[in-house]
Every structure is written in C-alpha cells, then in structure tokens.
Structure 1
C-alpha cells in the first residue's frame, strides 16, 4: 500500500491480487478509517442510489467519514476524509498509457486529456449521480472549481501518485455553522 494526504484527505493505492479488487478497496478504506476514526465500526456497505443493489459508492454507516474508490487496472485507489470537514468526496484514477476515445461524449467540443477526464469522473462521483449526469455538463472554472448542474461546486485537486497513475480528487468542504451572536 502506498498513501498520501491531500488537504486533509487520505488517499491510498495498491495493486490487488487477481479477482480481488473490491476486497483490496475495502482493506485500504478500513486502514485509512482506522487512522482517522479509531474505534469506529469498519463495516462497509455499497448501495446503488438508482437500483438499490449492493454496488456503488462505499459507505461506512457507523464511521464519521466519507469514502470513494476508483479502479484503474491494475490499481485500486481510495480516498477517505472525516465528515466533519468534507461534505462530499470523489476520486478517480487512470493509468497514464490508457487510451480513451472520449470524442463522442464531448463532441463537438474537444475531449479532455487524461487528467481532465479523471477530474470529471471524480466530480461525478462526489456529486453522487455518477454518469447519470452527462460528463460534458461538468464545467470548470479557472480557480480549480468544477460545477455540476443541480449538484453544486467541487474543488479539484491532483493527487501525487507517481508516474504510474493520474489521480484527481473532487471535494466539497463542509460549511461551518455561523457563530451565534448574543442579543442584548
């Protein structure tokens, strides 16, 4: 396992054994959650928001965290952040020599490069609707913020994972509650 931290978000990646991607993702998530929230129940559930099936984003119902996972053969990449700091989180990764033909998804505009594509997918994961939102509807501002119609804005951060992976993190920080003022 390799890991790093990007603005308080813990990110880890590893190569799984054959046919063991999901278990590797669960192991990585549990390791990061144990560091962030010691003593938490490390049970992970996967629930699809569309069909209710046992797939989709990882959720730890009894741990105060948000988690996201990406598969970039032969890698598994996960991100975990405390829910007191982060309201939404998404991660995506690709192997640099991956050839993606994204032309049809973005025509007539130009398709994004690999870093742009991982940023789009990370945003769609953080938004929670995934590819139910057309990828060409993710809009990027020059300040490193991306927005999704009906889903809000997400900060995009590159994750330094070395030459073997292109990784993007999308997050929305939790807004702190306003300080109450006393009235005379």
Structure 2
C-alpha cells in the first residue's frame, strides 16, 4: 500500500489482487478507516441509488468517515476522510497516458484532458449521482473549484499518486449554521 494525505483526506493505492477488485479496495478502506475511527465497526456496504444493487459508493454505516474508490487497472485507489470535516468526497483515477473516448460526452465542445476528466468524475462521485449527471454539465473553474448542477460546489485537489496514475480528489465541506 502506498499513501498520502491531502488536507485531511487520506488517500491510498495498491495493485489489485486476484479476484474481485473490491477486495483490494475494501482492505485499503478498512486500513485507513481504522486510523480515523479506531474501534469502529468497519463493515462496508454498497447500495446503488438507481437499482438498489450491491454496488456503488462504499459506506461504513458504523464509522464516522466518508469513503470513495476508483480503479485504474492495475490499481485500486481509495480516499477516506472524517465525516465531521467533509460532507462528501469523491476520487477518480486513470492510468497516465490513457485516452478515454470522451468526444460523445462533450460534443460539440472539446473534451477535457485526463486531469480534467478525473476531476469531473471525482465531482460526480462526490455528488453521489455519478453519470446520472451529464459530465459536460460539471464546471471546472480556476482555483480548483468545480460545480455540479443541483449539487453545489466542490474543491478539486490533484493527488500525486506516483508515476503511472492521474488522480483527482473532490471534497465538499459540510454546511455550517450561520451565527
């Protein structure tokens, strides 16, 4: 496992093991969550908001953490943060040099570069709606800020995950009551 911390978010990545890629991701999630929430039940659940199936965003219902996962063959990349500090987080990764076919998603505009694409996907994961929101509707602005329609504002943090990976993290601060 390799790891870094960015503004309080713990990020780890490791090569995928044999079998289900979620096993590698879940091991990383549990290792980082145990540090943030010692003694918590580290059971991970996934429930698709569309079909109700056992896939989607990883949730640790008994630990006060937020989690997100991405896969960029042969890597699993996870992010964990305190639920007190962030309302939501999202992470995305692509292999450096990958060239996903994004033309149809962004036509007639020019598609983003790989860093921009990982930022957009991280926002969509943090937002919770994923590709139910058209990626071309996510707005990336100067200063590492992005917005999703109806989803609010996110900070984009590039992650230095070593050679071979392009990783972006999206975080949203919790709403605080005004005094």
Contact persistence 2:16–2:73 (CA under 8 A): no
Question: For residues 177 and 128 of structure 2, what CA distance do their matches in structure 1 show?
Answer: 23
User: Are 2:166 and 1:159 aligned?
Assistant: no
What's the C-alpha RMSD, in Å, of the aligned pairs?
1.0
The equivalent of 1:60 in structure 2 is 60
- After the TM superposition, which segments of 4 or more aligned residues of structure 1 sit over 3 Å from their partners? 175-179
* Whole-angstrom CA distance in 1 between matches of 2:59 and 2:139: 27
| Higher deviation after alignment, 118-127 or 94-103 | 94-103
Matching of residue 97 in structure 1 with residue 97 in structure 2: yes
**Distance in structure 1 (CA, Å) of the matches to 2:22 and 2:146:** 28
Tell me the equivalent position of 2:127: 127
Pairing of 1:1-184 with structure 2 (within 5 A): 1-178=1-178
Structure 2 regions of 5+ residues with no counterpart?
A: none
Size of the aligned set, in residue pairs, is 179
Between Structure 1 and Structure 2, whose CA radius of gyration is higher?
A: 1
Which whole-Å deviations, capped at 9, do the CAs of 1:117-168 have from their partners, x for residues lacking one? 0000000000000000000000112121100111111000000111111000
CA distance in 2, matches of 1:103, 1:19: 32
Offset, 1:178:
4.1
Output the TM-score relative to the length of structure 2. 0.97
SS in structure 2 opposite 1:86?
coil
Output the CA distance in 1 between the equivalents of 2:169 and 2:144.
11
